[in-house]
Structure 1
Amino acid sequence: MTAQFEYSTLAHPQDIKQLETILEQCFISGLGGEEAYINLIGVENFRIIRGWEQVVGGLATLDMGQWWGGVRVPMTGIAAVGIAPEYRGSGAAIALMQHMLKELYARGVAISALYPAVQTLYRKVGYEQGGSWCIWEISTRNIQVREQPLPLEPVVSINHQIFHELYQQQARLTHGYLDRHPAIWQRIIQPDEKETVYAYFIGTKEQPQGYIIFTQERTEDGEILWVKDWVLRTVAAAQTFWSFLANHRSQIHQVRWKSSAIDSLTLLLPEQTAKIWRESRWLFRVIDVVKALEARGYPSEIQAELHLEIQDNLLPANNGKFILSVANGRGEVTKGGKGELQLNIRELAPLYTSLFTPYHLQQVGKLNGTEKAILAATQIFAGASPWMPDFF
């Protein structure tokens, strides 16, 4: 089964209907209404692939930013990648992703991230594991934090603008956090027909030190409080967060919240009773090597030089030798050098995000380097375990 694929924007009403049908089948209506989802993301942000004179698949692009080393790097998130079942295995998905990445490179986008249904497809076009997405769980009776240093004020009119500044303060200090796309904010604050969204400022409305946004659900296993989003800017806010959740224990059985694979919030709990309930890794790709390395932040005290040799089978401009010079928290890239650290564009992803150290990547055959290069890369890409609370 072969075809000459054609990649294009989504514009024609007939194409929109076809894509809605494909996505509905692919995600078993998991997007919450395909027409509404397409309208939320914006028709102009979808791309489709044609073959056999019809739409056979498509995807959504979300232009936003991601925080690396305290600096916002322009990033495009990829979502809702779907191919009609009868055309899977035809090469349509690979063609769709290849065209999309070439388009992003031409547009000057530095990096990209996505959540994979399967890793194999995306690894073929240069994506690799970049960071964690985790949901933690604890029984309300095990929280046992009673002290509540701050008041909580309910937010009556919920819109993302009132939370945005607090969120950005936490985001810029958190390795991997998004500068969120409006559609992601919308899905946090907008309830579906079966739920109510509650929101509270932690502290006073005039000077909040954080916030919590949550829903409540009755299940066969008991009542669950789902924390949809949280920001905690002070110790007092973190203590108040836990005591507020503990005060639900008469009605709520479990609390679930999103956090890092290594969650510092749990240090405030008396025992190690919080557990990761669900965990997955999102994938990451460096689209433009020079822009990506120069755009992110680095440890401010480090002054080092790293000689890279990179191979990218899809985007030729990323091939070759590069010198990354880091000083005062910023990086500068020049072409050339000794190529002392050799790796594929795919393997650059977990190095860039600090998900794995250069030593561990070398240990599993994902890069080769001299002792000097490994040491330099370890210093340059040192960072906290990367994560984000958002699924897209």
Structure 2
Amino acid sequence: MLPQFKYTTLTHTEDVQQLGYILEQCYVMSSGDSEIFLNRIGLENFRIIHQNQQIVGGLATLPMGQWWGGQRVPMIGIAGVGIAPEYRGDGVAIALMQHTLKELHTQEVPISVLYPATQRLYRKAGYEQGGNFCIWEVPTESIQIREQLLPIQPVIPLNHEVFHDLYQQQAKITHGYLDRNQAIWKGLIRPNGQETVYGYFIGSPEQPQGYIIFSQHSTEDNTILRVKDWVILTNAAAQTFWSFLANHRSQIKQVQWKSSVTDHLTLLLPEQTAKIRSHERWMLRVINVCKALEMRGYPPRVQSELHLSVQDDLLTGNNGKFVLSVANGQGEVTRGGKGELQLNIRHLAPLYTSLFTPYHLQLTGKLEATETALVAATQIFAGDSPWMANFF
């Protein structure tokens, strides 16, 4: 850690203004946009770093949860990492991340997630690829689903709170989904002053079976309906979701939505006309090995024991041997054991999230394990491909 850096919370008015100036440069914001961003997240959730009494960078911490194996694990999202251009390349960014992770470790936060502008920086801090963020696209005229099995009810005025319960029902069964911070909910409904957002319940208002939140956009040669958020809880809701979108075909050429790499909703489409338009991976960092492993859910019929050996050069409390005992969908961690599966804290992330199998991680040199440990890890960390519907 470089001694000339000072890490603090964001409290002084002049620091707020300076951080806003830095973020507007980093994220190509219009003048004043940073104030909206800072206020939406809350000043208390920002951390800044000084050099010689001058603020040189900062980031936002978003307290949330993330669903793993049907259980909510407390998580801190990292967003808005920004370093003043004249200080880039001087070690400011890694110092800022290391200070933040040490603070979170002291608070016993289990895991952290972020979207990387560059993987190299965050890998140095112990993050690794954890799951997927995909945007799909389909020509509206090719949807060809006409029968609307359920009513569609507009939500006016649009209020994100009415969607929370439905969202949580889907989140609990979706590997990697967020228990969203309020700032993310507000960003869905009121992203900026130039975009109109629409929301509809799928099914009766008293017992909806899903919802859709979207906006519409026009370019020189295309018209696009962008589904900003969706929840589908029944087959009837899935059919109605597609028929509702198909009904826009006279004015909308393309529909875009967020989903997993293998999207089950596309099974209802008559042809393989839906394509992934963009795909990137978010990164996860295990901050507290014991809490992360114990708070996660596991396959309910698996009863097994995994002997881990973990190396963490930054958060030394994570170093050592651990025994993960799994039964009835729950895990218990004790110190000690044989250390039959050895890995760096960074490479624990894709194992923890089920992004890659233990065999694939061994094949790419991310872990070393006995055959017994590989079999146990494969059973314990079996799960759907992890993804989330939010970018932050």
What TM-score do you get using the length of structure 1 for normalisation?
0.98
Closer/same/farther in 2, CA of residues 158 and 189 from structure 1, 3 Å limit = same
User: How far has the Cα of 1:30 moved from its partner?
Assistant: 7.6
The aligned counterpart of 1:119 is 119
Letter in 2 for 1:59: L
Calculate percent identity across the aligned residue pairs.
69
Runs of 5+ in structure 1 lacking a partner? Answer: none
Letter in 1 for 2:262: I
Alpha-carbon separation, structure 1, partners of 2:31 and 2:160: 21
Letter in 1 for 2:117: A
Q: Report if the CA contact (8 A) 1:146-1:246 is conserved.
A: yes
**Cα offsets for 1:257-292 (capped at 9, x unmatched):** 000011000000011110000111000000000000
Alpha-carbon separation, structure 1, partners of 2:200 and 2:83: 41
Given the alignment of the two structures, is residue 261 of structure 1 paired with residue 254 of structure 2, yes or no? no
Given the alignment of the two structures, is residue 190 of structure 1 paired with residue 190 of structure 2, yes or no? yes
User: How far has the Cα of 1:32 moved from its partner?
Assistant: 7.9
**Cα offsets for 1:165-218 (capped at 9, x unmatched):** 000000000000000000000010115222211111000100100000000001
TM alignment of 1:329-368, pairs within 5 A: 329-368=329-368
User: How far has the Cα of 1:10 moved from its partner?
Assistant: 0.4
Alpha-carbon separation, structure 1, partners of 2:279 and 2:119: 15
Letter in 1 for 2:120: T
**Cα offsets for 1:102-157 (capped at 9, x unmatched):** 00010110000000000000000100000000000000011111121111011112
Given the alignment of the two structures, is residue 213 of structure 1 paired with residue 189 of structure 2, yes or no? no
Pairwise CA RMSD: 1.1
Alpha-carbon separation, structure 1, partners of 2:235 and 2:382: 25
Alpha-carbon separation, structure 1, partners of 2:221 and 2:273: 18
The aligned counterpart of 2:33 is 33
Query: Secondary structure of the residue that 1:183 maps to in structure 2?
Result: helix
The aligned counterpart of 2:318 is 318
TM alignment of 1:201-240, pairs within 5 A: 201-240=201-240
Question: Alignment length, in residue pairs?
Answer: 391
Query: Secondary structure of the residue that 2:102 maps to in structure 1?
Result: helix
User: How far has the Cα of 1:221 moved from its partner?
Assistant: 2.8
User: How far has the Cα of 1:48 moved from its partner?
Assistant: 0.3
Q: Report if the CA contact (8 A) 1:65-1:178 is conserved.
A: yes
TM alignment of 1:1-392, pairs within 5 A: 4-29=4-29, 33-392=33-392
User: How far has the Cα of 1:92 moved from its partner?
Assistant: 0.6
User: How far has the Cα of 1:160 moved from its partner?
Assistant: 1.5
Query: Secondary structure of the residue that 1:293 maps to in structure 2?
Result: helix
Alpha-carbon separation, structure 2, partners of 1:169 and 1:246: 26
Letter in 1 for 2:203: G
Closer/same/farther in 2, CA of residues 17 and 288 from structure 1, 3 Å limit = same
Closer/same/farther in 2, CA of residues 104 and 191 from structure 1, 3 Å limit = closer
What TM-score do you get using the length of structure 2 for normalisation?
0.98
Letter in 2 for 1:74: P
Alpha-carbon separation, structure 2, partners of 1:247 and 1:11: 50
Alpha-carbon separation, structure 2, partners of 1:238 and 1:305: 39
Q: Report if the CA contact (8 A) 1:31-1:37 is conserved.
A: no
Q: Report if the CA contact (8 A) 1:134-1:279 is conserved.
A: yes
Alpha-carbon separation, structure 1, partners of 2:191 and 2:297: 36
Alpha-carbon separation, structure 2, partners of 1:31 and 1:75: 31
Letter in 2 for 1:83: I
User: How far has the Cα of 1:3 moved from its partner?
Assistant: 6.2
Runs of 5+ in structure 2 lacking a partner? Answer: none
Q: Report if the CA contact (8 A) 1:71-1:297 is conserved.
A: yes
